[in-house]
């Protein structure tokens, strides 16, 4: 993943490229071995241990779920601040957001991750998730 971000790419594309580079950089740094004599550089960079693959996949999925959860939370808080919701609706939103947060913690525990593990470093763009929320 040494490609450069395409010139003229929109912010979402730049973020996607930065996230992909961060994931490759993070996984390439853990337990690197010498490059095979055959020169298959891609195979040398990929961790093929099934447990590591499952954990990394869950880390990626949980990162995306946490990002969406935080976006939903901000949108809900904005709606509450606007005052267009009844007390019952506000309470349901609050309960749902607390349950989602608890479930994220349970899933992180199940896969041996912490909430801070879900925060990808996007290089010059900064971190994916706000640090105070972790």
Note whether 78 and 40 are within 8 A (CB). no
Q: In this predicted model, which residue has the larger pLDDT, 60 or 38? A: 60
Task: Write out pLDDT tens, residues 56-75.
Answer: 888 889 988 888 888 888 89
Contact 41, 35 (CB under 8 A): yes
The reported pTM is 0.57
> What pLDDT is recorded for position 25?
66
φ, ψ at 34 (rounded to 5°)? -65, 150
- How do residues 7-37 score in pLDDT, each as one tens digit? 666 666 667 667 767 766 665 555 444 444 5
CB 1 within 8 A of CB 98: no
Quick one: pLDDT band at residue 42, thresholds 50, 70, 90?
low
Average pLDDT of the residues of the chain:
76
Identify the pLDDT of residue 57. 87
């Amino acid at each position: 993943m040494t490609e450069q971000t395409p010139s003229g790419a929109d912010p979402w594309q730049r973020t996607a490229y930065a996230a992909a580079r961060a994931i490759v950089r993070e996984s390439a740094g853990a337990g690197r071995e010498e490059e095979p004599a055959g020169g298959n550089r891609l195979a040398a960079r990929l961790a093929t241990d099934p447990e590591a693959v499952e954990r990394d996949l869950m880390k990626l999925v949980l990162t995306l779920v946490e990002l969406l959860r935080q976006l939903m939370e901000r949108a809900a808080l904005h709606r509450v601040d606007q005052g267009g919701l009844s007390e019952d609706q506000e309470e349901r939103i609050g309960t749902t957001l607390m349950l989602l947060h608890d479930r994220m913690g349970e899933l992180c525990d199940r896969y041996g991750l912490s909430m801070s593990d879900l925060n990808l470093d996007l290089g010059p763009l900064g971190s994916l998730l706000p640090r105070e929320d972790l």
